[in-house]
Amino acid sequence: MLIGMSLLSTAYGSDVYGKMEFMEGRDQNPDGDDTGELLLFIHSADLMCFNCLEGILEFIRMLPRDIQHARVRGILVPRRSDRDRYSAASPLIQLKKIRGFIAAHQLCFRVVVDSRGIFSSFVSEGSLLVVVDASRGACTGYDFPLSRKEKQEIRSALGLSLGLCGRSVK
């Protein structure tokens, strides 16, 4: 994830809102490795679509809170009209909205707003989850909703196994 964070920091420069909080709290995995980090690119239109949103929420909720906090980073990608609507204030408004959404749904991952639309081509079809797997030196992208097989692949990349009652365990 350090590679992913470096890329984001370089791409955003000073145009990222929420950058310091996004970068803070980057905990090393308990095993001391850097495998299984998640970048969640959230298209702002998906926040207004119940079916779209449900797939994202279902996946994030299956992750233990310590995993959400330590290894999930969100990037809200506003529609062009949303970026332009409020000019300079727009990213701050978007950041406040997404933080409210995260709090309301009792999630605990960090998020920034893509104020320049750098990642808009990533989410042209909807929100996207990218697994950064440093142990394999690979990144894999997944579209929502995730299939059962994709969820298993992601859990494996995070070093989680499926415990009793379908709950993820470390």
Strands 161-162 and 72-77: unpaired
CATH topology of domain 2-169: Glutaredoxin (3.40.30)
Q: Compute and round to an integer the Cα radius of gyration of the chain.
A: 15
The pTM assigned to this predicted structure is: 0.74
Q: How many CB atoms lie within 10 A of CB 21?
A: 13
| Structure-block tokens of residue 156 | 């494996």
Are 57 and 105 a contacting pair, CB within 8 Å? yes
The DSSP 8-state label assigned to residue 164 in this structure reads G
Q: Identify whether the C-beta of residue 43 lies closer than 8 Å to the C-beta of residue 85.
A: no
Give the residue with greater pLDDT, 101 vs 161: 101
**Extents of the domains making up the chain:** 2-169
Summarised one tens digit per residue, pLDDT across range 3-50 is: 444 444 434 444 445 543 444 444 444 445 556 899 999 998 888 888
Per-residue pLDDT reduced to its tens digit, 108-163: 999 999 888 889 888 888 999 999 987 778 899 999 999 999 999 998 888 886 54
